Amino acid sequence: MKKYLNTILNETFQKLNFPAKEIQFDKPKEEKFGDISTNTAMLLAKELKTSPRKIAEEIISNLEYDKHLISKIEIAGAGFINFFISDNFYKNVLKKILESEIDYGRLDLHNGQTANLEWVSANPTGLLHAGHGRQVALGKAIANLLEWIGYKVDREYYYNDAGNQMENLAKSVYARYMQIFDPDFPFADDGYAGDYIKQIAEIIYNEKKDSLKNSSDLSYFKKTGEQYNFELIKKTLDRLNVHHNIFFNETSLYENSTITKTLEEFKAKGLSYEEDGAVWLKMDPAEGFQKNKVIVKTSGEPTYRLPDIAYHIDKINRGYDLIIDIFGSDHGDTYKEVLFGVRSLGYDSDKIKVIIHQMVTFKMGDESFKMSKRSDKSYHLDDLMDDIGVDATQFFFVMRGANTHLDFDIALAKDQSEKNPVYYLQYAHARLCGILRNADEHIPEYKTADIDNLNLELIKTDEEIRLLKVLSRFPEEVLGAAENYEPHRIISYLNEVAENFHRFYHNNRVVDPENKPLSISRLKICTAVKQVLKNGFDIIGISAPERM
């Protein structure tokens, strides 16, 4: 529809010798302002030095349009041009939805292109805590959105099984193992205190008994801990139906000498230098960097920056059209250094998009608590799912924009689980299923009724038309959410769908054996609403219950 308006407006512009402009369309907030509006007359006013309303009038009087599609055009306010779309247009959307089914809303905009989304990427030093949930849920929905606009998406998990964190894990497991023989064996202050470490130690004890006592090589402890933790992490992700198809181990960058090559490139291009026994990366103050950064320590080991830069170059070399990283705000500065490194070596960092989400504060009533992995009283993502349910977890994390702080009162979510906003949407779906079950009994012929021969004249009530109007917007809502990586827009939209459906349901009897043609028409609308809800649920990653 917008495409059509764009075409006829541009034709009119040519006729009037107006400068060619990219025309913006908006959905007016109020119904009385029509279905689509444009501010183009106001933008032209400056260049043409005439009043916006005058320009708008001139445009309208010269505009040639299809009266079957557009029922009315008005000028309002400071010079908005408001288009009223005819009901017939919306009635035909019904056919479109019923024909497209699970594909309604899918766009082939990026067909043939590939995207890589990397997220979660927690090192296997312990379970995912509840705070990770935001990123897990967000990434899951964004990956779905990208697929809905045509990308072939790789879901990637980057981890590091070398490094200090993993050494610490090994030491922690070792200490717990040693405590089996000697309860006084010292446990480091900064070790991982959770009970799971003791369980890993017991597994090792059961297998190896005392044969590893007082050993100096902790690699077995590390390996066992890593496997144990990764199993648990994957199990947690599995509950949320998150499945990465690539697990990228940082160590592989060392093994195939990618890191060495990257370092050589920096040196060869004079972008790094040696000082105090370390290798430093020259950072550009013009880009806001305050000081140079170490990429290789005095010990000869790289800092995280070098492998991270090499890793991103690797992703670029894999040929993706779009590369997305999701980080918490605690990594808000470091990614800029990494992108700077990538760019300075001449790689196109523009195709790398970084999504930063703010932290989550969890409260249990009035008591707030920290998500430290080192504390033995961590609140894990699994605990959260146990407490409020998998769907509510996914929904709650995705229903807000990523760039705002999130206060999460678990006690509230627990106590009022029946009033959780997720139920409003799911209830609409369950209710629709109930209606269709009822129809199966009384008017089974609705299922086989031919879509092309539907009597659209029977669609008359305000509730029906408004519902169809909302349904017609689904594809553009998907596009907007996907292009901005903002799944919460889908939830706002689905709320609108559910709201309009509930109102429709309240005022329009659907299954009426006395009036089968009308019933069939309304049952088709219900089928379409159910389909849109289902498709939306699939994107945000929650289930579509048939009964509640």
Partner RNA sequence: GCGCCCGUAGCUCAAUCGGAUAGAGCAACAGCCUUCUAAGCUGUAGGUUACUGGUUCGAUUCCAGUCGGGCGCACCA
Min CB(399)–RNA separation in Å: 7
Residue from 332, 346, 365, 513 touching RNA (CB under 7 A): that is: 332
Min CB(84)–RNA separation in Å: 11
The whole-angstrom separation of Cα 78 and Cα 89 is: 28
User: Using the rule CB under 7 A, is 365 a contact of RNA?
Assistant: no
The whole-angstrom separation of Cα 166 and Cα 484 is: 36
The whole-angstrom separation of Cα 113 and Cα 125 is: 35
User: Using the rule CB under 7 A, is 299 a contact of RNA?
Assistant: yes
Structure tokens at 124: 């296997």
Structure tokens at 314: 């690797």
Min CB(132)–RNA separation in Å: 13
| Greatest Cα-to-Cα distance within the chain, rounded to the nearest angstrom | 93
User: Using the rule CB under 7 A, is 403 a contact of RNA?
Assistant: yes
User: Using the rule CB under 7 A, is 547 a contact of RNA?
Assistant: yes
User: Using the rule CB under 7 A, is 119 a contact of RNA?
Assistant: no
For residues 96-115, which are near RNA according to CB under 7 A? none
User: Using the rule CB under 7 A, is 503 a contact of RNA?
Assistant: yes
Please report, for residues 198, 250, 322, the alpha-carbon distance to residue 318 in angstroms, rounded to integers and kept in the order given: 41, 16, 11
Min CB(183)–RNA separation in Å: 30
Which pairs with CB-CB distance under 8 Å and at least 24 residues apart come from 188-191?
190/374, 191/374
User: Using the rule CB under 7 A, is 421 a contact of RNA?
Assistant: yes
Min CB(11)–RNA separation in Å: 19
**Using the 8-state DSSP alphabet, how is residue 291 labeled?**
S
The whole-angstrom separation of Cα 47 and Cα 403 is: 37
Residue from 511, 525, 528, 532 touching RNA (CB under 7 A): that is: 511
For residues 423-482, which are near RNA according to CB under 7 A? 423-424, 427, 430-431, 433-435, 437-438, 480
Residues 190-229, mask of contacts with RNA (x by CB under 7 A):
----------------------------------------
Question: Among residues 204 and 398, whose Cβ is nearest to RNA?
Answer: 398
User: Using the rule CB under 7 A, is 176 a contact of RNA?
Assistant: no
| Nearest 10 degrees: Cα torsion 414, 418, 419, 424 | 130
Nearest-CA neighbor of 162 among 119, 107, 199, 125? 125
Query: Which span sits near RNA by CB under 7 A: 128-136, 186-194, 234-242, 498-506?
Result: 498-506
Place of tokens 């519902």: 467
User: Using the rule CB under 7 A, is 543 a contact of RNA?
Assistant: no
Rg (CA), the chain: 29
SS3 142: helix
User: Using the rule CB under 7 A, is 46 a contact of RNA?
Assistant: yes
User: Using the rule CB under 7 A, is 513 a contact of RNA?
Assistant: no
- 278 within 8 A of 298, measured Cβ to Cβ: yes
Residue from 3, 19, 20, 29 touching RNA (CB under 7 A): that is: 29
Total residues contacting RNA (rule CB under 7 A)?
94
**Using the 8-state DSSP alphabet, how is residue 286 labeled?**
G
The whole-angstrom separation of Cα 505 and Cα 500 is: 9
User: Using the rule CB under 7 A, is 400 a contact of RNA?
Assistant: yes
Residues linked to residue 273 through DSSP beta bridges, in sequence order: 280
Residue from 192, 220, 505, 537 touching RNA (CB under 7 A): that is: 505
